[in-house]
């Protein structure tokens, strides 16, 4: 199958592209190689993908409409997976314009090319952040998401709505999946697991927000990739399908991908300590603006559609990340921490 994936130098896009290539597909990758975090990590991911003959690498910004058109034309994709975005709840407070540009203009450019090329299925990444501080847990695709707490969440909700309108007007089958705190090897340096591991190995404190009174539905990367691959074979066929996230007027659905078992931040830190074999020095801090106290995915729709439900235990996932981290970063640990 001819597959176009945006964000292939990113954490999730790299893992998905590598899985698709190993499965024998032709993959066209797109990434802007932005400096939001260490570009050398992105370069290494792309270098690994280039080792596959069936991988075509494109490095340009999502906002470049002509480059996007050229890439779609060369690929003529049967499946499009749009993962590239400006991520991060806290960073959106400091650099809001980046989110408008990448997440809205960039997604518009992807949608325009999907409209033109008409792939059998367009898949778009969203986030659990769209649920805001909802107290209705676990979060179900059927509940309203009208009160985002950060600009990041607002832009991702907007991409869902943009995609729905294109799906309705152009009869384009679209799945928007809402990710829940994805972690694992090759993860992002701005995420808690990466920062906590780096700082603890260097003997530096970790910042624990809301004094540790937080819960997250941590989802291991391999489980997420498996769910995406299974969902890729299940494009919405038309309006009014029975799953809770299905649109009544378009071949469109939203769907949660999470572990369905919230873990407290303190338990997560304990898992890191166990994997590292040393304690973390905790620096307790108040809740940051735009953050949410709890996430919890209802994945019954995912299981009904695919027969699959993510289930990797947090300790197993943290162990895998720490093993990768130790192997990848061979420089002195104090140097590593300074790079974060």
Q: 63-119, pLDDT tens digit by residue?
A: 999 999 999 999 999 999 999 999 988 899 899 999 999 999 999 999 999 999 999
Catalytic residue, from 99, 152, 166, 252: name it. 152
Domains of the chain, earliest start first: 2-183+218-257 (3.40.50.720), 192-215+261-296+313-339 (3.90.25.10)
Single out the residue of 288, 311, 135 nearest to residue 222, CA to CA: 311
CA pair distance 7, 29, nearest whole angstrom: 7
What percentage of the chain exceeds 70 in pLDDT? 97
Residues pairing with 4 in the sheet: 28, 80
Q: Which residue has the tokens 């162990």?
A: 319
- Residue 38, CA atoms < 13 Å, CB-side half-sphere: 19
Helices (H), the chain: 11-22, 39-50, 65-75, 91-94, 96-99, 106-117, 151-170, 192-201, 221-232, 265-276, 300-306, 314-328, 333-339
* pLDDT at residue number 333: 44
CA pair distance 319, 323, nearest whole angstrom: 6
Whether 284 is a known active-site residue: answer no
* pLDDT at residue number 328: 95
Cis amide prior to 138 (ω within 30 degrees): yes
- Contacting residues for 277 by C-beta, under 8 A, at least 6 apart: none
- Contacting residues for 159 by C-beta, under 8 A, at least 6 apart: 85, 103, 104, 107, 124, 126, 176
Q: 147-178, pLDDT tens digit by residue?
A: 999 999 999 999 999 999 999 999 999 999 99
Q: Is the Cβ–Cβ distance between 173 and 251 less than 8 Å?
A: yes
Q: Is the Cβ–Cβ distance between 4 and 80 less than 8 Å?
A: yes
CA torsion angle 27 186 83 246 (round to 10):
110
- Contacting residues for 131 by C-beta, under 8 A, at least 6 apart: 139, 143, 145, 178, 292, 295
Q: 192-221, pLDDT tens digit by residue?
A: 999 999 999 999 999 999 999 999 999 999
Q: Which residue has the tokens 């499946």?
A: 79
Q: 15-69, pLDDT tens digit by residue?
A: 999 999 999 999 999 999 999 999 999 999 999 999 999 999 999 999 999 999 9
Q: Is the Cβ–Cβ distance between 306 and 256 less than 8 Å?
A: no
pLDDT at 339 over 70: no
Read off the DSSP letter of residue 284.
E
């Amino acid at each position: 199958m001819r597959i176009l994936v945006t964000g292939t130098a990113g954490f999730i896009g790299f893992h998905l592209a590598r899985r698709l290539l190993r499965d024998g597909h032709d993959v066209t990758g797109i990434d802007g190689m932005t400096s939001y975090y260490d570009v050398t990590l992105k370069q290494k991911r792309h270098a690994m993908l280039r080792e596959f003959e069936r991988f075509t690498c494109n490095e340009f910004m999502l906002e470049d409409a002509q480059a996007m058109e050229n890439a779609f034309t060369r690929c003529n994709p049967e499946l499009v997976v749009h993962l590239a975005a400006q991520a991060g709840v806290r960073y959106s407070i400091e650099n809001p314009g980046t989110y408008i540009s990448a997440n809205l203009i960039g997604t518009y450019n992807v949608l325009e090319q999907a409209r033109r090329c008409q792939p059998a299925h367009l898949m778009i990444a969203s986030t659990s952040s769209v649920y805001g501080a909802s107290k209705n847990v676990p979060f179900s695709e059927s509940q309203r998401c009208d009160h985002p707490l950060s600009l990041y969440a607002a832009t991702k909700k907007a991409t869902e709505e943009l995609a729905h309108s294109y799906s309705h007007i152009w009869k384009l089958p679209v799945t928007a999946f809402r990710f829940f705190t994805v972690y694992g090897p090759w993860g992002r340096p701005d995420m808690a697991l990466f920062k906590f591991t780096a700082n603890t190995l260097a003997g530096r404190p970790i910042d624990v927000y809301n004094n540790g009174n937080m819960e997250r539905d941590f989802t291991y990367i391999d489980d997420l990739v498996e769910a995406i691959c299974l969902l890729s074979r299940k494009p919405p066929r038309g309006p009014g399908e029975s799953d809770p996230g299905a649109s009544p007027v378009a071949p469109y659905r939203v769907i949660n991908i999470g572990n369905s078992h919230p873990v407290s931040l303190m338990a997560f830190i304990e898992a890191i300590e166990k994997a590292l074999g040393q304690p973390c020095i905790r620096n307790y801090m108040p809740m940051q603006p735009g953050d949410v106290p709890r996430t919890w995915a209802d994945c019954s729709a995912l299981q009904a559609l695919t027969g699959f439900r993510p289930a990797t235990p947090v300790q197993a996932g943290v162990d895998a990340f720490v093993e990768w981290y130790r192997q990848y970063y061979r420089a002195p640990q104090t140097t590593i921490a300074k790079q974060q």
